Amino acid sequence: MSQSERKLHLNAFLYGTGHHEASWRLPAAEPEKNTDFRHVRTIAETAERGLLDSLFLADGYEGRSNRLEPFTLLSALAAATKRIGLIATVGTTYNEPFHVARKFASLDHISKGRAGWNIVTGAGPAARNFSRDEHPEHDERYRTAEEFVEVVKRLWDSWEDDAVVNDKARGVHIDEKKVHDIDFKGERYKVKGPLNIARPPQGNPVLVQAGSSETGKAFAARYAELIFTAQQTLGEAQAFYIDVKSRLSAYGRATDELKILPGISPILAETEAEAREIEDELFSLIDLEGAVRRLSQRLDIDLSAFGLDEPLSVEAVRGTEHVNGNKSRHQLILDLIRNERLTPRQLVKRLGGARGHFTFTGTPLQLADVIEHWFRNGGADGFNVMPQVYPGGLDIFVDRVVPELQNRGLFRTEYEGATLRENLGLARPANKYYPSVETAGQEEVGA
């Protein structure tokens, strides 16, 4: 595909009242609606009206986030939408492959082929919520994840595509010869199979990944079809893009079989001055003392020992090699401290907007310029859109930024297909173990 034929891919990252940590304190904010399905449905309808590829729900197993459980919410949204993809985060450390395979197959059937799985190993200390004493080490979690994903994919393929017959005359509902045990025996999992639901409409729901550590990038090159990543500059985004795409050939994959979407977290208004006013108001509402305390815990250093306006030094902060959580995000913070000599106040402000993702404050036209520049210069296949304020931030993005991108020939004017794979330009994978007559001999995409 030529550069002129490429089209952007856009995902909306759903996140309560917005990705700015103080968004819930704005006078117009309604944080009580975070668990109100009607409110979330309206946001989803806005994203679909803007022809965005997908909606994404992050998830974790600890803390006090007051978020709805992804499968429950996305199943309801599947009935309220028609074309937009539905991506849920599910961790591999505190789940079982059979459960995850069944849930995503069900979501894919309910949505008629719009499900995506954001695969995480779990960055937070959730062990004690699952009868365990310690959170497994980073590399161990990824080794577990590799085997976990292999089991899930085999379970999805345990049904041949034409196994469901529904032949009333012969009295045959399911052709038993086309439903297979997988008899998986690995280091961590023993799973007999088969799955108890037919192969998903997409073959496999779209596999998504968000880790940017060395282990995470290797995992993504092997399995992922979509990557959400945090990059602060175009140069960093270009380096990440080249790095990950160059790894695909080792797994027999082409570069267009993986889409890379950096996060972009905008504050938009009709004028730049108005956008700056919103930004200033948001920062004024940050609980600075609490933010410094949380950042101190993350960096393993007492930031209160520094003046709020005294530049930080990375020498005092623990290295990424000592982190057993989100290594890539920790490294991003270290790079900000090292490269920009930020003070604690400045670092809190930078991270408050979107936890380390690229933030932007300005007009819709200015944002369209940035998106086009990154897209045309090898930094992205699209963007994970993370409005700092919901729902208004998504409204202005859909109503003002999307039409500008369409005018420039960068974004679709209608959905290309009915499934998430079709809209992302990803082929439906053949059944790796039991290919049909039509697909026999074809290679599985992303195998």
Known binding residue 138? Answer is yes
> How confident is the model over 364-387, as a mean pLDDT?
98
> How confident is the model over 28-34, as a mean pLDDT?
95
Say if residues 204 and 420 touch (Cβ distance below 8 Å).
no
pLDDT at 439 > cutoff 50: no
**Residue environment code for 28-47, b if the CB has 16+ CB neighbours within 10 A, otherwise e:** ebeeebbeeeebbbebbebb
Report the pLDDT value the prediction gives residue 132, as an integer from 0 to 100.
Answer: 84
pLDDT at 92 > cutoff 50: yes
Tell me how far apart the alpha carbons of residues 302 and 91 are, in angstroms, rounded to a whole number: 31
**Cis-peptide into 194, omega within 30 deg:** yes
Facing residues of 167 across strands? 172
Number of domains within the chain: 1
Report the pLDDT value the prediction gives residue 212, as an integer from 0 to 100.
Answer: 82
Averaged pLDDT score across all residues of the chain: 90
For residue 186, is it within any domain? yes
For residue 309, is it within any domain? no
Report the pLDDT value the prediction gives residue 441, as an integer from 0 to 100.
Answer: 43
| Domain span at 17 | 9-269+355-424
Known binding residue 287? Answer is no
For residue 334, is it within any domain? no
pLDDT at 380 > cutoff 60: yes
For residue 379, is it within any domain? yes
For residue 433, is it within any domain? no
CATH number, position 398: 3.20.20.30
Report the pLDDT value the prediction gives residue 16, as an integer from 0 to 100.
Answer: 94
For residue 336, is it within any domain? no
Known binding residue 304? Answer is no
Tell me how far apart the alpha carbons of residues 8 and 19 are, in angstroms, rounded to a whole number: 22
> How confident is the model over 369-383, as a mean pLDDT?
98
- The torsion angles phi and psi of 205, rounded to 5 degrees, stand at -55, 150
Helices (H), 111-183: 138-156
Facing residues of 12 across strands? 55, 385
Q: What is the pLDDT of residues 3-23, one digit of tens each?
A: 668 999 999 999 999 999 999
**Eight-state DSSP code of residue 100:** H
Among residues of the chain, what percentage have pLDDT more than 90? 71
114's CB contacts (< 8 A; 6+ apart) are 54, 78, 81, 83, 84, 85, 86, 108, 419, 420
Known binding residue 381? Answer is no
Q: Which of 30, 29, 87 is nearest to 59 (CA)?
A: 87
Known binding residue 415? Answer is no
For residue 441, is it within any domain? no
For residue 319, is it within any domain? no
Facing residues of 116 across strands? 87, 206
What type of residue sits at position 419? T
Known binding residue 109? Answer is no
For the chain, what is the largest distance between any 2 Cα atoms, rounded to a whole number of angstroms?
A: 81
What token pair was written down for 231? 């990059």
> How confident is the model over 203-211, as a mean pLDDT?
94
